[in-house]
Structure 1
Amino acid sequence: MKIGKDGVSKEEYTKGKSLKSRFGKFSAKEFYFLVFIVILTSVSVVAVVVLTPTEHNEASNNEVSICYDKCRLTLVETIPENLTYPHGSPVHMDTYDSWSKLIDGASERIDIGSFYWTMRQEDVVEDPSAWKGEAIFQKLLDAGSTIDIRIAQNNNTDPMMMKDTEILASKGAASVRTLDFPRLLGAGIIHTKLMMADTSAFYVGSANFDWRALTQVKELGIMVSDCPCMAKDLQKIFDVYWILGEEGAVVPSEWPAELSTEINMDNPVALADAGLNETMYISVAPPAFLPDGRTSDLAAVLNIIDSAEEFIYISVMDYFPTTLYQEHNIYWPLIDDSLRAAAFERGVQVRLMPSWWRYSSNNMKAYLKSLESISSAVDDKVQVKLFEVPIVTPEQASIPYSRVNHNKYMVTEKTALITTSNWSGDYFINTAGVSVIVSQTEGSEPTEKNIHVQVKAIFERDWNSPYAKFLNLTES
């Protein structure tokens, strides 16, 4: 995979925060009406404005909107074959089951944002474990005869990575648009992995549309159900891809107003009617794909790190304080610096668990050693382990680009971020990705139902497993 060369300014990285409303909760009409009453009566008036609930209420900066949908949040995992944990370890919905529920439950439309497609075993190698991918592919073929399916995908150099979508389109089961990032941005790819049904339920996570992601690769995602308020917000992100997939499309200097959002880092949605003490918003990359109000992935990541008071646990496939895929790579320490500052300035425990597999670069160990080397100066607050999915059989060894922990998430004592991006500079500069951020409502008590509590348990299960081993600082 070759990701290109052009970047953006540091100022653009944090673009996407909502603008402060001049009048807070009041609309312009309400404001002038109140002024009129004050003048008319010549007394001080205390006004209570009752907003009619639609999908959510508008909120002033640093407040929350309220979602009146049921909004069920479910963590979704793929645990590869032969990767086992002790009895009583956290268990969550399988990725295959999540995608099946979305497809089977759709009555009008399915939208999919994707990097590449290898759902059939003939796309990779023949192996019995490909059956889940084959089944999902057939479900899409069948569903496409009665509902609309739209797929936005990357323009991959390997035609076999787009063969499945070619078949879906040729059989009339899906409309497919391909994003050419080198033409649109001069570099980059779409690395998003999302599926949405009827603008009501969706999956966002690490799993590619690849049969290996259902049986041979460790994945983590989140399924949000019965939640039009958030699905409609995600729809705007998919619409950006769909627009840019049109022939001759260009990235506009200003995105249409209908793609703007009021749901962001400063104004998350409170899932009140779901009985959850949680808020949620969705962030995206790259900066060029940010309509008004949308939080950037980098802004979300840095805000979560900078807000942590107790711990920061991170599980990503790759961790580099550099770019990796540029023609001339650059040092890019924004996240690395924030982690060091969290440990040094606030005493926050930082645990980082990248993946190690047959395609890993030894250079990653050098950067990890550098980060962990400060631990002795910060009361051992920085720890690093590498997670390795074992290759148990000769058949598994013959499956390329498999047997890896592909998770991409961060969790603190109050927030979980589940993303589609690895952590090197490229994924924040010119790569399309999506993150779902779920936080505990301020002032509430955490319970086992909270997403961040469940994600923490997943991290600790993996961290304490025999598959995760401490980085040896003396290792060459």
Structure 2
Amino acid sequence: MHKPLRLLSKLATAIGLALSLQGAAHAEFAIPGFELVHTVPRETTLGTPDLRDAALVWKEMFDGAQREIDFGQFYVAGQDGEALDDIIAHLDAAGRRGVKIRFLMEKKGEFASVAATIEKLKRIPNLEFRQLDYSKMTGNGIIHAKYFVVDGASAFVGSQNFDWRSFSHIHETGLKITDTAIAAQVQQIFEIDWQAQAAIAAGQAPAIQNHATVMADEGRGNYLVASPNAFNPPGVGDSESELVRLVAGAKQEVRVQLLDYAPLSYGPNHTRPYYAVIDNAIRAAAARGVKVKLMVSNWNTEQPAIRYLQSLAVLPNVEIRIVTLPRASTGFIPFARVIHTKAMSIDGRVAWIGTSNWAGGYLDKSRNLEVVLHDERMARRIAELHEQTWNSPYAEPIDVLRQYPKPVKGKE
């Protein structure tokens, strides 16, 4: 090939690559009102080119804010040179152009937080930072939700914490919500908790919103549910009751991906009281012939939770796989290299995407948000996302006889 032709060929290749990368950056999977957003852990064979990355979506939403951004988060943890730095820079830019920012973090989340990141947030112009001890509201709960609302008109709800690892080293799934009715409900949830923090700080009891269980409005098709029921705004159903109802309605298959699953709650003195609500629903579904495919992280192999998983796995129609992601090439990263997505697909017709682990204390005592979508296209995509990891080299069927070692989470 002549030199000019070789140069033209290289130029055409470069242009083609640039266009393909540009196309990938703008790829998205959405239905009216909702975009599925996903984080693929680095250095894995997993891939979701049709789903946008959370870091890109968060920055885009901050850049579009005109009046206010409100956050409900478990903890905050940054690291120099990682994606969260740039995300915070976009948040800072919003504050500098006059956007009012309110940031509500769980008080107990301090143990997982980086003090320098908290200070960086506090230095953002027009940002007010508060901490809420949610146990003062429910006796034994936390703000476990991970969400924010922009201008009361759009929101993000998902498994992604305000943590640098959530954008690079953890399997995460969330939703960008442009359905204005649901975004408004997320805003109402924030307002309830923000006002509760003020009440507790003033030595007063937060106002209870519901004394009876509020069921979800199924007629809406796509809707928000949340916990705890006592502090949900009008029109937002109880997530614990809705999860049981949805599983009870399954006819062929239930696919679930979680960080961990256990029919146990959290009691005083490190006790784990029995919590059967979700487990009973799963076992009942399997007993009537529904195929249950439950996928959890290797963190779920600790005692005593692993024993309950093993007892569930011996049942007909139940398959359980444990996912172990490889260590990063840079070395051990505490509280990372794990699947953290909290999602379910039922019969290829209903999708559940949220912030809660499936254990006691989360859907009954803690603040969590879940979105239910009666949409076949979204349900199938969640099922495909599940299937990809399920069939990956990182997933292994649970061994019902194995004595699993204690998982390595925060330190080696």
**Structure 1 residue 82 corresponds to structure 2 residue 43:** yes
**Structure 1 residue 471 corresponds to structure 2 residue 412:** no
Name which of structure 1's ranges 382-391 and 178-187 shifts more when overlaid on structure 2: 178-187
Rounded Cα–Cα distance in structure 1 between residues aligned with 2:209 and 2:358 = 28
**Structure 1 residue 250 corresponds to structure 2 residue 205:** yes
**Structure 1 residue 99 corresponds to structure 2 residue 23:** no
Report the Cα offset of residue 162 of structure 1. Answer: 5.4
- Select 1:206's aligned residue among 159, 166, 185: 159
| AA partner of residue 118 (structure 1) | A
Structure with the greater relative contact order (CA < 8 A, sep ≥ 6): 1 or 2? Answer: 1
**Structure 1 residue 457 corresponds to structure 2 residue 375:** no
**Structure 1 residue 337 corresponds to structure 2 residue 280:** yes
The 1:166/1:191 distance shift into structure 2, 3 A limit, reads same
Report the Cα offset of residue 184 of structure 1. Answer: 2.9
Report the Cα offset of residue 387 of structure 1. Answer: 1.1
- 2:160·2:172 contact (CA, 8 Å) conserved in 1? yes
Report the Cα offset of residue 267 of structure 1. Answer: 4.3
**Structure 1 residue 405 corresponds to structure 2 residue 358:** no
Rounded Cα–Cα distance in structure 2 between residues aligned with 1:290 and 1:240 = 8
| Residue deviations 1:311-352 (CA, integer Å, cap 9, x gap) | 10111101101114544421111111111111112x110010
**Other-structure match for 1:137:** 88
Q: Kindly report the root-mean-square deviation, in angstroms, between the aligned alpha carbons of the 2 structures.
A: 2.3
Rounded Cα–Cα distance in structure 1 between residues aligned with 2:219 and 2:104 = 27
| Residue deviations 1:381-409 (CA, integer Å, cap 9, x gap) | 1100001111142x241x21110101111
Percent of counterpart pairs with the same letter? 28
1:209-288, aligned counterparts within 5 Å?
Answer: 209-225=162-178, 227-246=179-198, 247-248=201-202, 249-254=204-209, 265-269=216-220, 279-288=221-230
- Name the SS for the 1:223 alignment partner: strand
| AA partner of residue 341 (structure 2) | N
Rounded Cα–Cα distance in structure 2 between residues aligned with 1:100 and 1:296 = 31
| AA partner of residue 439 (structure 1) | H
Unaligned runs of 5+ in 2: 1-30, 404-412
**Other-structure match for 2:323:** 387
Report the Cα offset of residue 173 of structure 1. Answer: 3.6
- 2:153·2:183 contact (CA, 8 Å) conserved in 1? yes
Report the Cα offset of residue 171 of structure 1. Answer: 4.1
- 1:110·1:148 contact (CA, 8 Å) conserved in 2? yes
The 1:383/1:360 distance shift into structure 2, 3 A limit, reads closer
| Residue deviations 1:138-170 (CA, integer Å, cap 9, x gap) | 111121122111111111343844543443334
**Structure 1 residue 421 corresponds to structure 2 residue 362:** no
Rounded Cα–Cα distance in structure 1 between residues aligned with 2:49 and 2:124 = 41
**Other-structure match for 1:38:** none
Name which of structure 1's ranges 292-301 and 411-420 shifts more when overlaid on structure 2: 292-301
Report the Cα offset of residue 294 of structure 1. Answer: 2.5
- 1:371·1:382 contact (CA, 8 Å) conserved in 2? yes
- 1:142·1:173 contact (CA, 8 Å) conserved in 2? no
- 1:117·1:163 contact (CA, 8 Å) conserved in 2? no
- Name the SS for the 1:136 alignment partner: helix
Task: Give TM-score scaled by structure 1 length.
Answer: 0.72
- Select 2:309's aligned residue among 351, 357, 368: 368
- 2:67·2:151 contact (CA, 8 Å) conserved in 1? yes
| AA partner of residue 234 (structure 1) | V
1:133-212, aligned counterparts within 5 Å?
Answer: 133-145=84-96, 146-156=98-108, 157-158=110-111, 160-161=113-114, 163-212=116-165
Task: Give TM-score scaled by structure 2 length.
Answer: 0.83
- Name the SS for the 1:144 alignment partner: helix
Report the Cα offset of residue 119 of structure 1. Answer: 2.6
**Other-structure match for 1:120:** 79
| AA partner of residue 326 (structure 2) | P
| AA partner of residue 390 (structure 2) | W
Rounded Cα–Cα distance in structure 2 between residues aligned with 1:267 and 1:474 = 41
Higher helix share: 2
Rounded Cα–Cα distance in structure 1 between residues aligned with 2:402 and 2:308 = 13
- 1:75·1:221 contact (CA, 8 Å) conserved in 2? yes
Report the Cα offset of residue 420 of structure 1. Answer: 0.6
Higher strand share: 2
Rounded Cα–Cα distance in structure 1 between residues aligned with 2:253 and 2:113 = 42
- 1:90·1:457 contact (CA, 8 Å) conserved in 2? no
- Name the SS for the 2:261 alignment partner: coil
| AA partner of residue 266 (structure 1) | D
1:32-111, aligned counterparts within 5 Å?
Answer: 71-85=32-46, 91-111=50-70
Structure 1 or 2, whichever has the larger Rg, is 1
- 1:140·1:173 contact (CA, 8 Å) conserved in 2? no
Rounded Cα–Cα distance in structure 1 between residues aligned with 2:92 and 2:126 = 6
- 2:222·2:374 contact (CA, 8 Å) conserved in 1? yes
